[in-house]
Amino acid sequence: MEFKKLCILGLGYTGLPTASTFATHGLQVIGVDTNPRVVESLRNGQLHIHEPGLRTLVKASLRSGNLTVQAKPEIADAFIIEVPTPFFEESKKADMSYVVSAAESIVPYLRHGNLVVLESTSPPRTTIDLLSPILEKSGLKAGSDFLLAYIPERVLPGQILRELIENARVVGGIDQASAQAGRDLYSIFVRGEILLTDSTTAEMVKLMENTYRDVNIALANEFSRLADRFKMDVWEAIEIANLHPRVNILKPGPGVGGHCISVDPWFLVESAPDISSLIHAARLVNDAQPKFVLEQVKQVLGQDLQSVRVAVLGLSYKPDVDDFRESPAIAVLKLLVKEGAQVRAYDPYAREGILEETFLSNQLEEVIREADCLINLVAHAELRLLTPDAVIGMTAARKLIDTVNVWNLQDWQEAGFKLYRLGAGGS
Ligand code: SAJ
């Protein structure tokens, strides 16, 4: 099948890179976002998200005229839905309202022979049970009149542009023709292998990948708790265990954040709670990790944190990204505040609105100057590269807690600091 014009609904972390990548590969792309501020800023050439290389790509696409940004879809050969699928905090159930509205907005423009693709991570059977009936309100029938496929994005924030092109892609069609059309579309830029399957299998593939990672990080986090109990160093133990040819333990840390791994496993738990107890337990382990970090802070600084001054370093959900969604670092900060600690925080990617202004500073030195203790929650390059010499010049604080194991124990000890690492048995 040949494609000339696409409509991409949702210009976020994956929608915008996908739209501009198609545009730079010669397709006419209508980028649709219902947030007027996103439309406005993109039209002025300004990006609302940070991703290496993205600004240049978006600018080139807009300048060439291949990418246009607007609030509503229009008639096209294919529609790609890339809107968020968050979850409700209380019930942990998927909030499919963005997918529903995006699908409804396509209905008036859907034509015979079109391909509709869902990229958003969704509970199993969404394409068949939720999406297809909405699109069929157009009077057209899925399969016979239009093609429908689930093609999950699988890119890693921070490396999106490269992974978009290089990663293998799974294309789940509601039938063979839909899967083949999906392959024709994505083979325009995908260099990785493109595998065809049915839509429910593709939905499961995406959920299984992120659940696999969540469960394995939970295991690493549990190992770090055991290490503290047994007074040994989990980091050293993991390094040695990973020499085994069939073992690859992930890294413990302050918890699991981001919009994907901390959310997606819930879609499986929600869909089949009676048979997903391991997945559920892993979620609870990772969600409880910020509390374990708080316990460590208490051990280091004394049980009463009232009026203790803590400098929180790093707030995003993982290193070198500007994404603060579901961030465990912010969860740790909130727990510290609740305990009465006086908290100041620094993150090189922080921006307005991620946290109450009173806690934030864009100056590292200002945050650590008056602190009693520094706690590192994210392995940002800037924080990894902090040296004892630099810190000595900025503050009298000599107690450090490193939850991501990026500071060299010996270097800091020799410079007169007391460095405590998560999962290092209290030392
Ligand atoms: N983390 C650890 N220990 C580790 C690895 C990660 O604590 O050893 C934490 C990170 O700090 C972060 C969270 O887990 O808080 C998730 O980070 P991540 O780098 O593992 O993954 P994401 O959420 O940025 O991206 C994932 C990727 N999925 C997999 O690697 C299986 C990506 O390929 C997906 O496209 C993305 O989710 C998504 O959009 O679903």
277 Cβ contact partners less than 8 Å away, ≥ 6 residues apart: none
**Which candidate, 192, 195, 149, places its Cα nearest to that of 168?**
192
In this structure, which residue's CA is closest to atom 10 in ligand 1? 318
Q: Pairing relation of β-strands 373-376 and 342-346?
A: unpaired
> Which atom of ligand 1 is nearest to 217's Cα?
3
Burial class (CB in 10 A: 0-12, 13-18, 19+), 245: exposed
Q: How far is the CA of 164 from the centre of ligand 1 (A)?
A: 16
Chain-centroid distance, C-alpha 402: 22
Q: Which residues in the chain show pLDDT less than 70? A: 427
Distance between CA atoms of 348 and 357, rounded to whole angstroms? 15
Taking each helix axis from N to C end, the angle separating 328-338 and 277-301, rounded to the nearest 10 degrees, works out to 50
- At 266, the amino acid letter reads W
7 is catalytic: no
> For position 357, what pLDDT does the model report?
83
Task: Name residues contacting ligand 1 (CB within 6 A).
Answer: 121, 153-157, 209-210, 213, 217, 250-251, 253, 256-258, 260-261, 317-318
Which architecture characterizes domain 5-192 according to CATH?
3-Layer(aba) Sandwich (3.40)
- 309's tokens: 């001054």
> Which atom of ligand 1 is nearest to 257's Cα?
15
- 260's tokens: 């994907």
Q: How far is CA 381 from CA 47, 346, 392, 417, in A?
A: 22, 13, 19, 21
Topology match between the domains 5-192 and 212-421: yes
User: Given 59, 141, 206, 291, which residue is catalytic?
Assistant: 206
- 179's tokens: 């899967």
Q: How far is the CA of 319 from the centre of ligand 1 (A)?
A: 11
DSSP code at position 404: S
Condensed to tens digits (0 to 9), the pLDDT of residues 186-224 reads 999 999 999 999 999 999 999 999 999 999 999 999 999
Domain 212-421 matching CATH 3.40.50.720: the answer reads yes
User: Given 7, 260, 318, 373, which residue is catalytic?
Assistant: 260
Helix spans in 231-302 (H): 234-241, 264-271, 277-301
Q: What is the pTM of this model?
A: 0.94
373 is catalytic: no
Q: How far is the CA of 261 from the centre of ligand 1 (A)?
A: 6
> For position 337, what pLDDT does the model report?
96
Domain ranges for the chain, please list them. 5-192, 212-421
Q: How far is CA 1 from CA 78, 228, 368, 426, in A?
A: 11, 58, 59, 61
**Which candidate, 96, 79, 74, places its Cα nearest to that of 87?**
96
Q: How far is the CA of 121 from the centre of ligand 1 (A)?
A: 14
